[in-house]
Amino acid sequence: MSTDKREVRVSRAPASSTARTAQAVSHSSRLTAWGIATVEAIMGYEWLLSALNKLLNARYVADFPRMLQQMASPENPNGWWDTFIHQQVLPSAPRWAILVEIGELGVALGFFAGALLWASGRFPDEGWTRWLNISIIVAIAAGVLMTVNYYLMAGHTLPWLNLADPFDEGLSLDGVLTGIGVGLFVLHVRAWWADHR
């Protein structure tokens, strides 16, 4: 008894260039989202460490006015910042110290939420992610305001060459965090704007 074995070939139609392009864009979008999530997780970790260093140190609130007085000195080239600190912050320094602690913790949580949002793959398609994104935008904006303040507090002006001190970094950590924060703020606002047009 002989059986006829026929070779069955399943031929696939070549994928259209549109389908390949859509796949490539989808893959690229996922990689971009994971890249943004990674940056936001690192930023969240930096803010969390800064907040915990303040929250877990019993002397932070007590030493806050003295630190501000040292930073708001005549040597600081940002005279308007010095005036603001002396007139608005120092009279109620303990309250400002507590606001800084709470603010830094809130910024950290905002960045962690942003990282989870991008990594989830659901952003900005699902409704709840759009609402969460608004709180993340607020947290990132607060972080940018704080890093700009820390940058000015350290006596930095516009980033430029520093020929007098070639061993100093080109841009302080607060300057770098401000730049990254502004970029992430723009990304989140753009995602929110694109969804609400």
Q: What is the pLDDT of residues 95-108, one digit of tens each?
A: 999 999 999 999 99
Using alpha carbons, select from 172, 176, 125 the residue that is nearest to residue 153. 172
Write the pLDDT tens digit of every residue in 19-36.
Answer: 556 555 565 788 899 999
Residue 74 pLDDT: 85
Q: In which residue are the tokens 């965090």 written?
A: 177
Report yes or no on 139 lying in a domain.
Answer: yes
More confidently predicted of 144 and 172: 144
Q: Which amino acid, residue 37? A: A
14 part of a folded domain? no
Range of the domain at 75: 36-196
Q: Is residue 27 in a domain? A: no
Give pLDDT, residue 11: 47
Give the single-character DSSP code of 136: H
| Alpha helices (H) in the chain, listed in sequence order | 17-55, 60-71, 79-84, 93-120, 127-153, 173-196
CA 131 to chain centroid: 18
Query: pTM score, two decimals?
Result: 0.81
Q: Name the domain count of the chain.
A: 1
